């Protein structure tokens, strides 16, 4: 049976020779990211429209196009169109997740780069966060609450999805490595609960506001590895009672960056040993049918925190210093927490594929040498076959590159009236970075939420 699989892999390898779908193209992102770092959101939107027209986004990356357009339009202040794009992104994720369940086994031998990008858990969650903020900016509070609530609902749904996916992969005849069932271990998001709290309070639903705060505090206590910093005063000193508040939410930095981790597989009779610098999995892995003496390399993605140049975020009301914003959610920590669950699926799929491809490549090389009399051209052809296998085992590094990395908040008890409000981003050694000013902003008896961004 293993020999039959090897022949199938050889066919797949040469079918995709010359195809660019085995690596992640990020070069066209650079002008877009440069505009974001400069705070020129209109230009960033224009550049992404140009990238779409020039078909820089492949069809398999259509989710990323919708995610990028959705968040850039939010930064630009085009909230209605932003929600249209983010809703389409959400629809694509649901469609691809359904397909991935039914075709999970069939995808075992294909590099993830060659497949439709279906998004990471954290990307799916932050879609609803920004849809909620869009609705708040359009004064559609009921719709905003629905979106904030969807975040924690999705987190609970993911366990079922992962169970179904793992069962499909384990039942595949291509599967040589058993993937253990895994739990997400993250079911309660602080930022989503905070948004629910301020919406409920503004709507006069003070008991529900209190409950949202309790859920927020429970998340902070439960996931200390994610929320490993002091709670902001906007949480510890807030209230669910009737008052007039100015709430400010600022986003800084960039989301997590996917980087490849190189690893090696050494085969023994019916089991393999994987060596990788992260020590993700150190035990011997049963692999029925494999023989002693092979060595193969593979890559899998990991998330890295990019960081931000922002050291402080100051708030001025009518040119008078009012306070500073504090970190509510490290979105990269949330990303890393949820990414670990998906990582096991990616890791073991990649191992299976790497072993089958590696054996197929070696078998093809021996056949070529035998049929060519082991001459120079035969050796070259065999070497090219091995190189092709290496070229098709690049880690899938696609991600939502335009999302922010950190969310800061502040809450200020303020009388109704008209004010000039400045949100100032400060760097190392108190250097001025950028600011967002709202002239003649009217504070009302309701929700007064302002946003600002410094995506660097």
pLDDT digits over 30-75, tens only? Answer: 999 999 999 999 999 999 999 999 988 999 999 999 999 999 999 9
Given this model, what pLDDT does residue 262 score?
86
Confidence bin at 108 (pLDDT 50/70/90): low
Given this model, what pLDDT does residue 299 score?
86
Given this model, what pLDDT does residue 282 score?
65
Mean pLDDT for the stretch of residues 220-237:
95
Confidence bin at 455 (pLDDT 50/70/90): very high
* Domain range for 181: 2-454
Given this model, what pLDDT does residue 102 score?
61
Count of structural domains within the chain: 1
Mean pLDDT for the stretch of residues 70-84:
98
| 10 or 61, which is more confident | 61
Given this model, what pLDDT does residue 290 score?
85
343 closest CA partner among 12, 122, 99: 122
Given this model, what pLDDT does residue 14 score?
45
Q: Which of 95-104, 178-187, 312-321 has the highest mean pLDDT?
A: 312-321
Around Cβ 88, how many Cβ atoms within 10 Å? Answer: 17
Average predicted confidence (pLDDT) for the chain: 85
Question: Range with the lowest mean pLDDT among 176-180, 290-294, 305-309, 348-352?
Answer: 176-180
Confidence bin at 101 (pLDDT 50/70/90): low
């Amino acid at each position: 049976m293993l020999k039959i699989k090897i022949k199938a892999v050889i066919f797949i390898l040469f079918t995709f020779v010359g195809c660019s779908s085995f690596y992640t193209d990020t070069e066209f992102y650079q002008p877009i990211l440069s505009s974001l770092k400069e705070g020129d959101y209109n230009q960033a939107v224009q550049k992404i429209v140009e990238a779409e027209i020039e078909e820089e986004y492949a069809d398999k990356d259509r989710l990323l196009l919708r995610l990028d357009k959705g968040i850039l339009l939010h930064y630009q202040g085009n909230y209605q169109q932003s929600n249209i794009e983010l809703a389409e992104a959400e629809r694509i994720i649901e469609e691809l997740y359904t397909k991935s369940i039914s075709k999970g086994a069939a995808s075992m031998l294909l590099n993830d780069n060659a497949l439709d990008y279906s998004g990471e858990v954290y990307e799916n969650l932050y879609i609803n966060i920004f849809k909620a903020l869009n609705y708040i900016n359009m004064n559609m509070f009921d719709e905003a609450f629905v979106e904030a609530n969807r975040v924690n609902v999705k987190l609970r749904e993911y366990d079922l999805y992962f169970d179904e996916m793992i069962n499909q992969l384990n039942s595949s005849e291509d599967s040589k490595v058993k993937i253990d069932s895994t739990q997400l271990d993250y079911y309660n998001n602080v930022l989503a609960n905070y948004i629910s709290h301020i919406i409920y309070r503004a709507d006069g639903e003070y008991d529900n506001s209190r409950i949202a705060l309790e859920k927020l505090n429970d998340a902070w206590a439960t996931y200390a590895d994610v929320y490993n910093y002091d709670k902001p005063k906007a949480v510890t000193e807030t209230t669910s009672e009737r008052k007039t508040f100015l709430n400010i939410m600022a986003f800084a930095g960039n989301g997590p960056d996917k980087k490849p981790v190189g690893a090696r597989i050494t085969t023994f009779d019916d089991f393999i040993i994987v060596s990788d610098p992260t020590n993700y999995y150190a035990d011997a892995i049963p692999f029925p049918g494999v023989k002693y003496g092979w060595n193969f390399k593979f890559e899998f993605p990991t998330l890295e925190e990019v960081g931000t140049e922002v050291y402080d975020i100051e708030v001025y009301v009518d040119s008078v210093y009012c306070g500073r914003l504090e970190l509510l959610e490290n979105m990269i920590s949330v990303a890393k927490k949820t990414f670990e669950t998906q990582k096991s699926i990616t890791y073991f799929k990649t191992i299976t594929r790497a072993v089958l491809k590696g054996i197929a490549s070696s078998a093809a090389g021996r056949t070529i040498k035998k049929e060519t009399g082991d001459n120079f051209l035969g050796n070259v052809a065999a070497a090219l076959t091995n190189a092709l296998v290496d070229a098709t085992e690049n880690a899938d590094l696609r991600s939502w590159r335009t999302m922010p990395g950190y969310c800061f908040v502040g809450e200020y008890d303020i009388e109704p009236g008209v004010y000039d409000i400045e949100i100032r981003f400060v760097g190392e050694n108190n250097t001025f970075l950028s600011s967002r000013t709202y002239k003649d902003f009217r504070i009302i008896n309701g929700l007064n939420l302002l946003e600002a961004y410094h995506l660097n």
